[in-house]
Amino acid sequence: MTTVIVGGGIIGAAAAYFLAERRETNVLVLERAQLGSGTTKGGLGGIRHQFVDELDVRLSRLAMSFWRVFDDITGARHDFHQRGYLFIANTDGGLEQLRASMPLYEKVGVNVEMVGRVSVAELVRGMRVDDVVGGRFGAEDGYGDPPQALAGFAAFAQLAGVQIKERTNVREIMRSGDRVTGVRTDDDEIAADRVLLATGCWTAPLAATAGVAVPIWPYRRSIMESQPIPQLSRAPMVIEWESGFHFRPKGNAVRFAMPNLTTDGGIEKGPPGPPSAYPGDYVPLDVPASLEPWVRARAAWRHPLFADVQIRSSWSCYYEMTPDDHPIVGPVPGVEGLFIAAGFSGHGFMHAPAIAQLVVEQMLDGRTRALDISDLSLERFQTGRRPFTATVL
């Protein structure tokens, strides 16, 4: 059987890896630009267990078991560090929101604990904590390098016989009746028994060519990187719960993620709602001029080492949003052979090994073996079922 993966980001590359690992032949990855040139190249690289829905936590556990041994399994190097995730709260209400998920972590068996102001100060030496009422720390969490991981997945897949074609734009999904028959590119028609759409925020218009409505839209987020600050090179990922301000080391530099700013100067940690029609507008991927002053001020408030922070580089990418901030993964109802793995709402990289393994099990075995992900089906939006809590952080 011939399998076509549309999309050469981290999800498409990981799916190619797992198909290769299952010794599938006739696998083709089509990427319209270069591998990883979409959302993958722009992500912060966080990997965490600290979610509010049990399925997310279990996906993180499955993914983390892979990230820990990535180098040994793929034969490639991945700059992964399990240095923890530290959420800090500035209000009693925020602290209670952090505390609310603790029974879930105990149930699933992940190492997460509530921490007081003194412990927060010990976890990140020198950080300002007089405005902090407490926090939550996951010692098993960490961060990695999305483009580097993608390269490892893709190299393994290619060595195993997977074909990867860059600069190949798929403009239509072909179907005959109730099954997929292939894809049409700008230059050719490619017959396929299975097609996986790992196309991020570009999924809705492509799926529509097969008569499938998919509620995924783009939402711009920005990242900034500082000059070297080696004193923080072993810090955990730090996230202010109320503001959405993040920072983590990247080598000796520090990377910052931040909320979007509204026109009246407020903060927007996630989109206010879905567009009137999908996929909505693809706003330009520039970095709004208002963000750097906000980041510099927020960083300087949080740690004295950021008092004279220099922003050496900045970029934006698209989050691929869904109405419940959870991905759509699995077979498309009513179209045999068509599968989707997209709409990760900022969590695609961290869950990539788990999602890829599971969607490949669906493709080859007709069901998942490692974890039940039926709640991630497109069907939930077709029927109005809502199994998840919508949350970006």
In 3-state terms, what secondary structure has residue 268?
Answer: strand
Backbone angles phi, psi at 244, to 5 degrees: 80, 10
The one-digit pLDDT tens for each residue of the chain (393 residues) are 899 999 999 999 999 999 999 999 999 999 999 999 999 998 899 999 999 999 999 999 999 999 999 999 999 999 999 999 999 999 999 999 999 999 999 999 999 999 999 999 999 999 999 999 999 999 999 999 999 999 999 999 999 999 999 999 999 999 999 999 999 999 999 999 999 999 999 999 999 999 999 999 999 999 999 999 999 999 999 999 999 999 999 999 999 999 999 988 899 988 999 999 999 999 999 999 999 999 999 999 999 999 999 999 999 999 999 999 999 999 999 999 999 999 999 999 999 999 999 999 999 999 999 999 999 999 999 998 888 887 766
Residues 6 or more apart whose CB falls under 8 angstroms from that of 282 comprise 201, 218, 318
Query: Residues 218, 322: contact at Cβ < 8 Å?
Result: no
Query: Residues 41, 74: contact at Cβ < 8 Å?
Result: no
pTM here? Answer: 0.96
- DSSP annotation of 335: S
Backbone angles phi, psi at 376, to 5 degrees: -85, 0
The pLDDT value recorded for residue 389 is 81
The pLDDT value recorded for residue 392 is 67
**Residue 309, number of CB atoms within 10 A of its CB:** 21
50: left (phi over 0), alpha (psi -120 to 50) or beta: beta
The pLDDT value recorded for residue 265 is 82
C-alpha 240/C-alpha 127 separation (Å) is 12
Domains and CATH numbers, the chain: 3-67+146-215+324-383 (3.50.50.60), 81-140+218-319 (3.30.9.10)
The pLDDT value recorded for residue 30 is 98
The pLDDT value recorded for residue 390 is 74
Tokens in use for 112? 């997460």
